[in-house]
Amino acid sequence: MNPATPETTTEIPAARLRCIQCGSLADHAGQDFRCPSCGDLYEIFYPGWQRPHGPEASRLDAEALRQLWRDRKSSLAAADTSGVWRFRELLPVLKADPITLREGNTPLYDLPGCAQAAGVEALQAKHQGMNPTASFKDTGMTTAASFARQEGFRWVACASTGNTSASMAAYAARGGMRSLVLIPEGQISWGKLSQSLDYGAVTCQLRTDFDGCVKVLSELVRRKPVYLLNSVNPYRLEGQKTAAIELLEQLNWQPPDHIIVPGGNLGNSSALGKALLEMRDLGLISRLPKLSVIQAEGANPFYRSIREHAGAKLVPMQADTLATAIRIGNPASWKKALRVVQATEGAVEQVSEGEIALAKAEIGCDGVGCEPASAVTLAGLKKLVKQGFVKPSETVVLILTGHVLKDPEFTLKFHRGDLFTGAARAKDATALAAHQRAPVALDATVDAVIQTLEQVDSER
Ligand code: F0G
């Protein structure tokens, strides 16, 4: 071996915490995961990666990493069968075994019908709803919950619009910890609520919205030894970033032109963007996809921050949308998201309730399906194509964040024509009628079924 070449090309470097605002460094965060100097958020960074010269220089060799991750696909070890821990060279070092439900490993689907609806030649979706608890949250929960256990916490907690809580409750249960869920009363889908009950969480429905739940939790973690599992916890984002690494692996390391993601609390866009920048820095990809974030019109503080204040500040708002997962008016990670949108030259758009419902039905018609919050991606893509930001020949990947079964009430109301009622929503209701397929109640006879079949056939 050439003595100038470091012996190990995939050795794991130590991770540190760095404040995104004032840059101060730490090896340990307080329970609120905020910088004690300026109060802003921490991010995890890896000093070893940033030494272009010296003995550490080429420790993380891109081709060696790709090969190592490929080889692990044939391993039966728990950490290797996790689609998150398979990429552990780019994660903070965990000393014990991870808490894993074999998260990640999610499919990349072609969406031919949606491509046509959006006006692009080809369209793909990475379906993070195919995770163990049916949302993208599992990829971040396996990392953060594992670090909570390593630090000896007995209780973990989160405020949630439903998916974080479902995921946290599952991983806490698997890891032998207790979990405390704070959710806005009456504002999350019962599918998600039922998950956290079944996984054994102490579930508190607070008479407030998501942002109100966050406030209560922030105070709680200062007073009780409870580990905070919201996405202000940077260990969550490290796990979530592996979705982008896995995506690029699925694309044989050829970056798409665009990646489009829903924006709520803005942790996921921050995580995916961080992965893109790190992959570029490590030589795993040669150019950056544009990362665009889409919000619902009724929960659009990030969109407004960019349009009205050029990203200089974010004005919290009272959020309202039927896509309850992203009903968030004061997103914690907006500065991180802004940074990655700017670094990748992405866009930020907003879409209406009617556009979300239509896009969700179209994703369903491609045999894939997703929850309402995920459908903002397709609705946003349509707008970005119309604006010329996305060219018809460019390659686009939508990140679908939650499974179609997460919010069956929305889907049923949509198909029964009950989603948009009242004069104010009449326009939405008419536009969607062609996509509705309400169930039909019939007498139990073959003739009745045949008649229905023939009638539908004649309409096509
Ligand atoms: N899509 C789904 C299905 C979600 O559950 C969320 C967030 C998002 C998109 C937005 O991601 O917050 O990282 O920008 N759900 C959180 C929760 C807030 O509590 O489950 P984000």
Q: Which atom of ligand 1 is nearest the CA belonging to 261?
A: 9
Q: Which atom of ligand 1 is nearest the CA belonging to 293?
A: 14
Phi, psi of 108 (to 5 degrees): -110, 115
**Does ligand 1 come within 6 angstroms of the Cβ of 267?**
yes
CA–CA distance, 163 with 374 (Å, rounded to integer): 12
**Does ligand 1 come within 6 angstroms of the Cβ of 161?**
yes
Q: What is the pLDDT of residue 161?
A: 96
Mean pLDDT, rounded, for 319-329: 97
Phi, psi of 331 (to 5 degrees): -65, 125
**Through-space distance between the first and last CA atoms of the chain, rounded to whole angstroms:** 68
CA–CA distance, 203 with 188 (Å, rounded to integer): 12
* Per-residue pLDDT reduced to its tens digit, 370-413: 999 999 999 999 999 999 999 999 999 999 999 999 999 999 99
Q: What is the pLDDT of residue 431?
A: 77
**Does ligand 1 come within 6 angstroms of the Cβ of 268?**
yes
Q: Which atom of ligand 1 is nearest the CA belonging to 240?
A: 13
pTM: 0.95
**Does ligand 1 come within 6 angstroms of the Cβ of 163?**
yes
Q: What is the pLDDT of residue 74?
A: 97
* Per-residue pLDDT reduced to its tens digit, 415-446: 999 999 877 777 777 778 889 999 999 999 99
Mean of the per-residue pLDDT values of the chain: 94
Confidence of residue 459 (pLDDT cuts 50, 70, 90): confident
The answer to whether the beta carbons of residues 370 and 401 sit under 8 Å apart is yes
pLDDT at 273 over 90: yes
Distance 265 CA to ligand 1 centre (A): 7
Helix (H, G, I), strand (E, B) or coil at 168: helix
**Does ligand 1 come within 6 angstroms of the Cβ of 377?**
no
**Alpha helices of 241-285 — where are they, by DSSP H?**
242-250, 267-281
Residue nearest to atom 10 of ligand 1 (CA): 264
pLDDT at 8 over 50: no
Within 8 A by CB and 6+ apart from 244, the residues are: 259, 271, 272, 275, 276, 279
CA–CA distance, 90 with 280 (Å, rounded to integer): 13
Q: What is the pLDDT of residue 2?
A: 40
Confidence of residue 13 (pLDDT cuts 50, 70, 90): low
CA–CA distance, 238 with 314 (Å, rounded to integer): 24
Strand segments (E) across 392-443:
396-400
Sign of CA dihedral 421, 422, 423, 424: negative
294's enclosing H/E stretch is strand 290-296
Residue nearest to atom 7 of ligand 1 (CA): 325
Q: What is the pLDDT of residue 4?
A: 40
Which amino acid does the sequence have at 22? C
Q: What is the pLDDT of residue 428?
A: 76
Q: What is the pLDDT of residue 12?
A: 54
Mean pLDDT, rounded, for 173-191: 97
**Does ligand 1 come within 6 angstroms of the Cβ of 91?**
no
| Residue written as token pair 């080889």 | 71
Distance 268 CA to ligand 1 centre (A): 7
Mean pLDDT, rounded, for 323-340: 98
**Does ligand 1 come within 6 angstroms of the Cβ of 35?**
no
Residue nearest to atom 6 of ligand 1 (CA): 325
Helix (H, G, I), strand (E, B) or coil at 81: helix
Distance 445 CA to ligand 1 centre (A): 45
Residue nearest to atom 11 of ligand 1 (CA): 264
Q: What is the pLDDT of residue 9?
A: 54
**Does ligand 1 come within 6 angstroms of the Cβ of 346?**
no
Alpha-carbon dihedral 372, 374, 378, 383, rounded to 10 degrees: 80
**Does ligand 1 come within 6 angstroms of the Cβ of 264?**
yes
- Rg of the chain taking only CA atoms, in angstroms: 22
* Per-residue pLDDT reduced to its tens digit, 92-109: 999 999 999 999 999 999
Distance of CA 331 to the CA centre of its chain: 14
Which amino acid does the sequence have at 384? L
**Does ligand 1 come within 6 angstroms of the Cβ of 240?**
no
Cβ burial of 415 (10 Å; 0-12, 13-18, 19+) is middle
CA–CA distance, 133 with 140 (Å, rounded to integer): 12
**Does ligand 1 come within 6 angstroms of the Cβ of 266?**
yes
Mean pLDDT, rounded, for 149-172: 98
Distance 250 CA to ligand 1 centre (A): 24
Q: Which atom of ligand 1 is nearest the CA belonging to 167?
A: 20
- Choose one of 126, 135, 158, 179 to mutate for the ligand 1 pocket test, by most ligand atoms within 8 angstroms of C-beta: 135
Q: Which atom of ligand 1 is nearest the CA belonging to 163?
A: 20
Q: Which atom of ligand 1 is nearest the CA belonging to 158?
A: 19
Mean pLDDT, rounded, for 170-187: 97
Q: Which atom of ligand 1 is nearest the CA belonging to 230?
A: 19
**Does ligand 1 come within 6 angstroms of the Cβ of 164?**
yes
Within 8 A by CB and 6+ apart from 260, the residues are: 292, 293, 294, 377, 380, 381, 384, 396, 397, 398, 399
